[in-house]
């Protein structure tokens, strides 16, 4: 049996950008269908398998006391993670209930702005005036012999280990690799982190050294400049030797997850397999947009949210927003303490021939920011790069407590044209980590 629907907006995938757009369009009186292939992913990857559950585990690991049994503690941390995810999952279902038609099934394009989906054993065909693809990305697996063994994990499967591994090898030292390596070391595993090249190579040396020092203090053994050749049931074989492992995590990047039938829809992909879009996120097919990870942009939930704004401005507003409007976009790697940055490094600024003022301080030596001392974590470094002529903040990097919050203040200042002097003279609440701006920007 089959049924056909004609709607104003079809969203494929329950990620941040898509679900927000679906809710907004429905509120504006549009008829909206959202198709999600996995019922367990209601709300998208961020709340179910990525940002939120992993940061809950990071926090749990960082707060484990030495006397607490690692196996018992990990099991409780996973239960708490699952409880949190269930609540968020339910909240996301409620957000769309009654206003958006949600269909659980695999969407396949069968023509321009037209998809077919099998749901509850029946075939549904949906045609829409506008289609937004929001199908995201997935972890890249190892691609070497043995990468499919039962003890080999990606960033999703490792969140539900039955037992804490005595020896964990993490392959890949991007943000995910760093976060999981430190997390499992603090849960109690012996962790070896393998990297093809220098870790945090794009960062200035003070910040790189600070982050790697904290990882080492947490018990992470870092090996740089190695290639994985094979995974065996008890080890990881590399070009630099063999490392014993009870469990292996491949944190080697992500790959796009695209709907079937893109050709029938007239939607092109780029050389990496991501859906090709312009600065307004329009695909090669009229009336089809792609938001979130699947369009090949920065893979952050807050970028997906901004993608929503760009598409919403075209469907519901003036149409003025574009990707190239984005400036001073901050990032954070949630090691403990977190490492955040926005703008240029000192090296990048000098390579551009800019005349800059630079200040670097150890967090422990910041006299005007006592918050780290009050909470007992004075690890880290802060660094700022300022244009000597214009007093413009060109870059800011902070490895330390509350880094993810302070970087937002600096990023906003950079977007708004607030000068380094104005930030220095800002009245920042005491006690707060933002107070570091009073000191780090005092070049006098």
Mean pLDDT of the 303-327 span: 96
Residue whose structure tokens are 């549009």: 30
Active-site choice (59, 160, 399, 430): 430
Residue extent(s) of CATH 3.50.50.60 domains in the chain: 2-138+255-325, 152-252
Place 424 in a pLDDT band, splitting at 50, 70 and 90.
very high
Place 1 in a pLDDT band, splitting at 50, 70 and 90.
low
Q: Which helix (H) or strand (E) holds 11?
A: strand 2-12
Cβ within 8 Å of residue 1, ≥6 positions away: 122, 123
173 is in an annotated binding site: yes
135 is in an annotated binding site: yes
175 is in an annotated binding site: yes
CATH 3.30.2320.30 fits 2-138+255-325, yes or no: no
* Fold that domain 152-252 belongs to in CATH: FAD/NAD(P)-binding domain (3.50.50)
87 is in an annotated binding site: no
Determine the pLDDT at residue 120: 84
pTM, two decimals, is: 0.96
Average pLDDT, the chain: 97
304 is in an annotated binding site: no
Residue whose structure tokens are 């090949």: 296
Residue 2 has pLDDT above 80, yes or no: no
The Cα 434–Cα 216 span in angstroms is: 27
253 is in an annotated binding site: yes
Is there a contact between 215 and 222 (Cβ–Cβ < 8 Å)? Answer: yes
Mean pLDDT of the 293-310 span: 98
Residue extent(s) of CATH 3.30.390.30 domains in the chain: 331-440
Confirm whether 430 is a catalytic residue.
yes
* Fold that domain 331-440 belongs to in CATH: Enolase-like; domain 1 (3.30.390)
Mean pLDDT of the 372-382 span: 98
Instruction: Give Rg (Cα) of the chain.
Output: 23
Residue 270 has pLDDT above 90, yes or no: yes
Residue 42 has pLDDT above 70, yes or no: yes
What is the phi/psi pair of residue 328, to 5°?
50, 55
Mean pLDDT of the 91-108 span: 97
137 is in an annotated binding site: yes
């Amino acid at each position: 049996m089959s049924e056909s629907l004609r709607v104003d907006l079809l969203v494929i995938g329950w990620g941040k950008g898509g679900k927000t757009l679906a809710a907004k369009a429905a509120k504006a009186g549009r008829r909206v269908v959202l198709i999600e292939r996995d019922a367990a992913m209601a709300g998208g990857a961020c709340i179910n398998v990525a940002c939120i559950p992993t940061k809950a585990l990071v926090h749990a690991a960082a707060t484990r006391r030495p006397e607490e049994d690692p196996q018992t503690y990990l099991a409780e941390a996973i239960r708490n993670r699952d409880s949190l995810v269930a609540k968020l999952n339910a909240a996301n279902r409620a957000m769309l209930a009654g206003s958006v038609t949600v269909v659980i099934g695999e969407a396949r394009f069968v023509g321009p702005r037209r998809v077919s989906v099998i749901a509850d054993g029946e075939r549904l065909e949906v045609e829409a005036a506008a289609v937004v693809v929001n199908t995201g990305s997935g972890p890249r697996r190892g691609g070497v012999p043995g990468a499919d063994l039962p003890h080999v994990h990606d960033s999703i499967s490792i969140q539900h280990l039955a037992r804490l591994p005595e020896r964990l090898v993490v392959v890949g030292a991007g943000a995910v690799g760093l976060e999981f390596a430190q997390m499992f070391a603090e849960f109690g595993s012996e962790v070896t982190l393998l990297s093809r090249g220098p870790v945090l190579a794009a960062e200035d040396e003070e910040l790189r050294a600070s982050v790697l020092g904290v990882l080492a203090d947490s018990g992470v053994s870092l090996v740089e400049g190695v290639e994985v050749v094979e995974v065996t049931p008890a080890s990881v074989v590399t070009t630099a030797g063999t490392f014993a492992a009870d469990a292996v995590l491949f944190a080697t990047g992500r790959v796009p997850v695209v709907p079937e039938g893109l050709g029938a829809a007239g939607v092109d992909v780029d050389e990496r397999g991501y859906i090709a879009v312009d600065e307004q996120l329009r695909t090669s097919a009229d009336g089809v947009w792609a938001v979130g990870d699947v369009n090949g942009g920065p893979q952050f939930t807050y970028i997906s949210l901004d993608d929503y704004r760009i598409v919403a401005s075209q469907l519901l507003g003036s149409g003025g927003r574009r990707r190239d409007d984005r400036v001073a976009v901050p990032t954070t790697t949630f090691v403990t303490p977190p490492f955040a940055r926005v703008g240029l490094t000192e090296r990048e600024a000098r390579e551009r021939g800019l005349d800059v003022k630079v200040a670097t301080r150890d967090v422990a030596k910041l006299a005007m920011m006592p918050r780290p001392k009050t909470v007992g974590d004075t690890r880290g470094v802060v660094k700022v790069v300022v244009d000597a002529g214009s007093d413009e903040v060109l870059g800011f990097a902070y490895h330390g407590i509350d880094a993810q919050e302070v970087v937002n203040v600096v990023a906003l200042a950079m977007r708004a044209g607030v000068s380094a002097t104005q930030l220095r003279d800002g009245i920042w609440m005491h006690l707060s980590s933002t107070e570091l701006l009073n000191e780090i920007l005092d070049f006098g």
